[in-house]
Amino acid sequence: MKLEEKLEENGCVRARSRQPCLGETSQANGQLRANGAAEGSPRREANGKSIVPRRSLNAYTWQEIQKHNQEGDQWLVISRKVYNVTEWAFKHPGGQRVITHYAGEDATDAFRAMHLDLDMVTLYLKPLLIGELAPGEPSQERNKNPQLVEDFRELRRTLEAMNMFDAHLGFFFLHLAQILILEVLAWLILCHFGSGWTVTTFVSFLLTISQAQSSFLQHDIGHLSMFKKSKWNHLMHKFVMCHLKGLSANWWNYRHSQHHVKPNIYPKDPDIDMGPLFLLGESQPVKYGKKKIKYINYEKQHLYFYMVGLPLLMPGYFNVQSMQVMYLRKYWVDIAFVISFYIRHFITFGPFYGIFGTLLLIYFVKLLESPWIAYVTQMSHIPMRMSREENRDWLSTQVLATCNIEQSFFNDWFTGHLNFQIEHHLFPTMPRHNYHKVAPLVKSLCAKHGLQYVNKPMLVAFGDIVRALKRSAALWVDAYYE
């Protein structure tokens, strides 16, 4: 059944299996009645049509809702409506953990930020609706500033009216053309000049640029910011992430979505859970120190970052984890696309290097790409505030955990516009070519509510990664030797 089919007269969406609608249970005779309500006779209009009276929704307090925050019992609040997502979490296209991270909380802004087609995803929510907030309850938890929340939502409405979420397809196709031209150029150079060491080195740098820019393009498409239809974004993401980069799109989506909804929140954000190799923030080093855990000498972890973190992020950690997840979760489509990545390289570069030499070339390029991606992805988060769950509003959660890098043509290109990390985290589905347009509005909103909008030079941001690692190491040393 297509999602776009008309709703029936009683307002419910009927599944193909003819399951009961929200708020109804099946009777032995096939009739339906409202949960928890006395069965009554339907009224009839003058034209003979029957109308089933609507049941009033159950009313819940925040105190009741916050109890349902366990893996086997999960409720969410979206726009004052209460949903039981316990069973749905396992089917969630963005992964179960994203749902679990917001269990017992107001997820309105996260829901709006992460989804492209709200009309479609709202249909999935209808069968999960169990009630609404009681009339006397605020629209968000009492620890959140309602004026700040409303101001942010007003900003989003303003940006939508300004068409800031509309993509310029020419921008993205030029970006894709850049990637493909670099790969073709590398092949033509090999055809014309042979595969000597000098040529191979030059070709490797061309392919490194292509791979890094592919990383940024897949990031855009993975956030559904290229096309207006999610299915076209998903298909293009398979092509770029799996075929052009040789990594699993599903693995990236599930991991990256967790990072976006709870950035720098330990242990919900997988990007900051780097133990036992690196200890980040304040609480994790103290925890390891007090328990006398010393897998490595964490006092020197900033040096390990140069020796291990930078060169091995892509060829080691990401590559191995992607393959592991694809195999264990049986992502057959991703596996097929990734196989096509290797076949394409064997066809293109095999005549020059052979199978083993081509594999060496692939992983040498990943080794060169790794520091580039590591610096760009970590400079906006590792130096920023890290904490355990504090259930802050969406704006505060994102701004406290991210920072921007000064804008320039080179910085925009080198970082894939992730130098506008604050804007990206607030509006993940926004096309990146619009970040610079909305940045002044975001900065003004942060100033109004006393949130620090951090913007720094790129080289300072690179150095801040190491300085943050040293601070965390000092906390570990103090706790370990006390």
- Please indicate, yes or no, whether residues 209 and 308 belong to a single structural domain of this protein: yes
Strands 43-44 and 32-34: unpaired
Q: Residue 123's pLDDT band (boundaries 50, 70, 90)? A: confident
The more confidently predicted of residues 277 and 154 is 154
> How many domains does the chain divide into?
2
pLDDT digits (tens, 9 = 90+) for 385-410: 999 999 999 999 999 999 999 999 99
The reported pLDDT for the residue numbered 429 is 97
Q: Do both 239 and 372 map to the same domain?
A: yes
Q: Is residue 410 part of a domain?
A: no
Three-state secondary structure call for residue 5 = coil
Q: Does 420 score more than 80 pLDDT? A: yes
Give bridge partners of residue 44 from the DSSP assignment: 50
- Inter-residue contact 248 to 441 (CB < 8 Å): no
Compute the mean pLDDT over every residue in the chain, rounded to the nearest whole number: 89
Per the structure block, which two tokens stand in for 309? 């973190």
pLDDT at 24 over 50: no
212 and 349 in a single domain? The answer is yes
Cα Rg of the chain (Å, integer): 25
Chain CA centroid to CA 97, Å: 12
94 in helix, strand or coil? Answer: coil
Q: How far apart are CA 222 and CA 198, in angstroms?
A: 36
Q: Does some domain include residue 290? A: no
What angle do the packed helices 169-193 and 197-222 form, to 10 degrees?
160
217, part of any domain: yes
Q: Does the pLDDT of residue 264 top 70, yes or no?
A: yes
Average pLDDT over residues 226-231: 93
Cβ within 8 Å of residue 242, ≥6 positions away: 248, 249, 334, 337, 338, 340, 341
In angstroms, the CA 315 to CA 39 distance is 63
Q: What pLDDT score does 55 carry?
A: 58
Same domain, residue pair 221 and 82: no
Average pLDDT over residues 202-213: 98
Task: Supply the range of the domain harboring residue 202.
Answer: 169-265+299-379
Residue 466 within any structural domain of the chain:
no
Residue 331 lies in a domain: yes
Structural domain contains residue 243? yes
Q: Looking at the structure, tell me whether residues 195 and 105 fall in a common domain.
A: no
The pLDDT tens digits for 33-72 are 333 333 344 444 444 444 544 557 899 999 999 999 998 9
3-state secondary structure of 305: helix
- What distance in Å separates the CA atoms of residue 235 and residue 218, rounded to the nearest whole number? 11
Task: Check whether 80 has a pLDDT greater than 80.
Answer: yes
- Hey, what are 48's tokens? 């003979």
Same domain, 239 and 309: yes
Is 429 within a domain? no
Query: Does residue 247 sit in the same domain as residue 305?
Result: yes
- Residue 344, CA distances (Å) to 157, 318, 335, 354, 359 in order: 44, 21, 14, 13, 12
Q: Could you say which DSSP state residue 306 is in? A: I
CB 391 within 8 A of CB 143: yes
121 pLDDT tier (thresholds 50, 70, 90) = confident
> Residue 17 pLDDT more than 60?
no
Confidence tier at 213 by pLDDT (50, 70, 90): very high
Q: Are residues 138 and 185 in the same domain?
A: no
Paired tokens of 36: 């928890």
Sorted by sequence, the CB contacts under 8 Å of residue 139 that are 6+ apart come out as 79, 80, 106, 108, 133, 146, 149
Beta bridge partners of 63: none
- 354: tokens are 């052979």
Q: Per DSSP, what are the bridge partners of residue 205?
A: none
- The pLDDT > 70 percentage for the chain reads 89
SS3 per residue for 17-41: CCCCCCCEEECCCCCEEECCCCCCC
Which tokens belong to 169?
Answer: 């397809």
Whether 1 shows a pLDDT value over 80: the answer reads no
Residue 274, pLDDT > 90, answer no
Asked if residue 328 and residue 196 are part of one domain, the reply reads yes
With a CB cutoff of 8 Å and minimum separation 6, the contacts of 296 are: 276, 277, 304
